[in-house]
């Protein structure tokens, strides 16, 4: 999908800038919202939840050769005394975020 010159980009409802070159979204976006991400030149998609990302986000990732790191599938541990995520998941995510070769990073969690 390419935008016409008179069309506006549509950000995702839960898009946010965490810090320079580190962004966050939920895993569900539309094709138009994916176009909003294009200028960010995302290099890595870091998924923290168990869910898979939306089809538009997956297409965006594939078209732009973005590396996917899906920590949620291997680190998520439900019902840990009502903790939504494990300490191991948080630790591994922070280690990835601290490695500048992954930047710009897009964090996705639903």
Contact (Cβ atoms closer than 8 angstroms) between residue 100 and residue 75: no
- Which of 53, 57, 106, 109 is the catalytic position? 109
Cα–Cα distance measured from residue 46 to residue 39, given in angstroms and rounded to the nearest whole number: 18
Contact (Cβ atoms closer than 8 angstroms) between residue 48 and residue 93: yes
What letters, b where the CB count within 10 A reaches 16 and e where it falls short, cover 56-93? Answer: bbbebbeeeebeeebbbeebbeeeeeeeebeeebeebb
Q: Is 109 a catalytic residue?
A: yes
Residues serving a catalytic function are 109
């Amino acid at each position: 999908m390419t935008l016409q010159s008179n069309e506006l980009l549509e950000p995702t409802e839960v898009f946010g800038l965490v810090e320079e070159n580190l962004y966050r979204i939920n895993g569900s976006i539309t094709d138009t919202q994916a176009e909003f991400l294009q200028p960010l030149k995302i290099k890595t998609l870091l998924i923290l939840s168990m869910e898979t990302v939306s089809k538009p986000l997956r297409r965006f990732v594939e078209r732009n050769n973005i590396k996917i790191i899906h920590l949620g599938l291997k680190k998520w541990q439900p019902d840990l005394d009502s903790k939504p995520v494990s300490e191991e998941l948080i630790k591994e995510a922070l280690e990835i975020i601290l490695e500048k070769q992954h930047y710009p990073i897009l964090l996705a969690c639903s």
